[in-house]
Structure 1
C-alpha cells in the first residue's frame, strides 16, 4: 500500500555500508522526540483480546513550554494551561498512523514541520498510537509473532479493540474526558469503523481530522497495479509484512482490496463459513458512516494515488457532520506528503490546527 515506504526501505538496504546515515536513523520514536528537545514517555495498554500496544506521548513543547504557534500565529490562545501536570485541563490530541507505519511517521520532519511537534508546541498533550503487529506493538499475553494466529486480524480488530483501548487509556491517564483525533489513511479507516462497534466513543472526541481519508476507495488508481501483489501475500503467512517496513497483517491489505473491488466500506470478508460464525451472515456487514457523529475535517488532494476525489465526495456525503472539506491546493501533493512533505505545514497543518482549535 505504501509504495513510497517500500521503495525507501529497498534503497536503504542497498546502500553501501560506508554511506552517510542521519544520526536519527536507528533511533526509536521516543529517542527521536527527545533528540528534538521534547519530553517523551512510553505507555503500554493491553487490549481485551490480548495484544500489548505501545503508545508514545509528548506531554509538552520544547523546554516544557508552549510555542508561539504555527506560522507565527497564536493558535493556543484559548487560555488553557499547557502544563503537563495540570491533569484534565490541557488539550489532548491522539494521532493514529497509516498502514505499514508507526508513531514515528508523525515526528520524522523537523520540529516546525512535523504535526506532532507543532501540536505539542501549541499546548497539546500529544499521544501517538501504534496498532497491533507493528514494531512497537508486537507482544501478546499468550501468542508469539512466530505463530500465524498472531497475525490473524484485520481492520475490524484494530477498530474494535486497539483504538478503543488506546483512547480509554489516554482519557484515564490525562483525566480529560474528551480529546481531538488526528488520523492519516488507515488511521481514518479505523476511526470510521470504530463507531460501528463503539458508538459511545463519539462522546469522547471533540473533533476528528482525517488526512487522506480512506473509506470508499473504488476509484483508487493504485489497485490496478498492486491487486495481484496483495492477493499473493496470502501464500506467505504475513512473514514479509511482519518485518518490513513496520509490520502489518496481510489481511489488512486484502481488506482494502475488498473495499476497492466491492465498492463498499465493510468488515473483512473471511469467506461464507467464517463470516457466518463471526457476523451471523454469509456476507460481511457494511460500516455505516452515519454512526460517526463527531465533527470531521477532511483533508485530501487531487494527486493522491490512493484517495480519489470521487471517493472523498462519497465519504463526505455520508458523514453527518463535515466540519471542513479541504482540498490541498497543489496538484501533485501525494498520499504520504500529508506526513513527510516540507510544505505540509503551509498546505495542510494550518487548516488542521484551526479545525482543532475551533472545537477546543
Structure 2
C-alpha cells in the first residue's frame, strides 16, 4: 500500500530509481489506509474511513492517480510543445506503463476491466504485475484459518474491528522501538524473522527489514481495512477473482447489475494491452500456481500475456536488490513503443453486449 518499498534500496538497487536512470518519468502512488485517518472530512468516523475493499483501490484510488499523472504529463507536453493538440478518447501524447506488486496487481486489473466496461480510457500501454493478488485458493494454512473466521464472524467482528492497525501513538512508538531493536540485536531480529516466516507459511522475505521502513513510525503507520481482508477471503473461498460481495442479491444488483459480484476472470478479454506476469518460486503468500491461473485465463481470452518465474519470496520483488528482476522489468518497459493512438473502442461492441454496470460504493 506504500510506495516506500519501490525506493527502499536507495539509488542503486530500487526499481523506481532504475527506471528513472533510464530516462523515464516515474510516478509513485499510495493506496488509502493510514492510522492518522487523513481525509478531507476531518470528522469522519473510524467506521466510515475504513469502509473500503479492493474495489475502491481499483475504481477510485488508481483512477485518481492516473488522472493526476495524465494532467501533469499533458501540462508538461503542452509547455514544451505549444502546438500540441488536445487529446481525445482515442489519442494521448504519451505512453504509460504500470508496475504493480501483490494487492496492486489485483487493483490495476480491476481498474482496467471496469474502465473498459464503462467505455472510458484507462490510459495504460502495458501492465507488469509482480506476484499479483486475485486468486488465492492455493494458499497457506494461516490464510485458510482467517478465511474461515471472517466468512463466519464478519457481521459481528467488522463493526467492532473496522481495520487492523496500531491505534495509539504510544503503542506505535513502542512498535517503532522494537523494530529498531530487531536491527540492533541480530539474535532478536532473527527470532522475529523466523516467527514471521513461519506465520506466512515459510515465506523467506525480509519481514524484519520491512517493519523498519520509515513509514512505520510513531506518528503514522499503514493499516489494513477489514473489508479488504474480507474481500481476499471471498476470493479464496470462491476460487475466483471476484469483486467485493456485499452480502445480498439486492446490494450486488445495485452495484453490479447482477445478484453476484463480477467474476473478473470472465472479463479478461477486455484487457487490451500487453500484460507481463511474474511469480516467485519461493513465494508462499501468492504462490506461482495462482499467478499461472491469471496467465492461463488471459491467454484463453486472447490477451497478449507473458509469464516468468524467479527464485524469489513475496517481498523480494520490491524490497530486495535483485539485478535480474530489474533487468527483466526494464526489458519489458522497453517494449512500450513511442506514443500512438490508443485502440479505445476496439471492443466496444462486445462490451455493450455485456449487461453489466459497475459503480463505486
TM-score (norm 2): 0.64
Q: CA deviation at 1:227?
A: 3.1
Partner of 1:116: 16
Q: When you count helix as a share of all residues, which structure comes out higher?
A: 2
What's the Cα RMSD here? 2.4
Distance in 2 (alpha carbons) for counterparts of 1:220 and 1:291: 28
Q: CA deviation at 1:240?
A: 3.0
What's the CA shift string for 1:282-302, capped at 9, x where partnerless? Answer: 321211222222101111112
Distance in 2 (alpha carbons) for counterparts of 1:177 and 1:249: 35
Unaligned runs of 5+ in 1: 1-100
Partner of 1:266: 242
Distance in 2 (alpha carbons) for counterparts of 1:241 and 1:275: 29
Which moved further from structure 2: 232-241 or 173-182? 232-241
Unaligned runs of 5+ in 2: 75-92, 168-215, 338-361
Q: CA deviation at 1:114?
A: 0.8
Distance in 1 (alpha carbons) for counterparts of 2:106 and 2:314: 14
Q: Does 1:286 align with 2:263?
A: yes
Partner of 2:253: 276
Q: Does 1:256 align with 2:238?
A: no
Q: How do 1:135-150 residues align onto structure 2 when only pairs under 5 Å count?
A: 138-142=37-41, 144=43, 146-150=45-49
Q: Does 1:314 align with 2:293?
A: yes
What's the CA shift string for 1:168-225, capped at 9, x where partnerless? Answer: 1101101254311000011110111112221256662121110012222211225225
Determine which structure has more spread, i.e. the larger CA radius of gyration.
2
TM-score (norm 1): 0.64
- Between the two proteins, the alignment pairs up a number of residues equal to 254
Q: CA deviation at 1:108?
A: 0.9
State which of 73, 97, 107 in structure 2 corresponds to 1:190. 107
Asked if the contact 1:153–1:251 (Cα under 8 Å) also holds between the matched residues in 2, the reply is: yes
Q: Is the partner of 2:129 in helix, strand or coil?
A: strand
Distance in 1 (alpha carbons) for counterparts of 2:277 and 2:17: 21
Q: Does 1:345 align with 2:262?
A: no
Q: Is the partner of 2:165 in helix, strand or coil?
A: helix
Q: When you count strand as a share of all residues, which structure comes out higher?
A: 1
The 1:214/1:256 distance shift into structure 2, 3 A limit, reads same
Partner of 1:324: 306
Q: Is the partner of 2:278 in helix, strand or coil?
A: strand
**Comparing both chains, which one has the higher relative contact order based on Cα–Cα distances under 8 Å and sequence gaps of 6 or more?**
2
Q: CA deviation at 1:125?
A: 1.0
The 1:198/1:324 distance shift into structure 2, 3 A limit, reads same
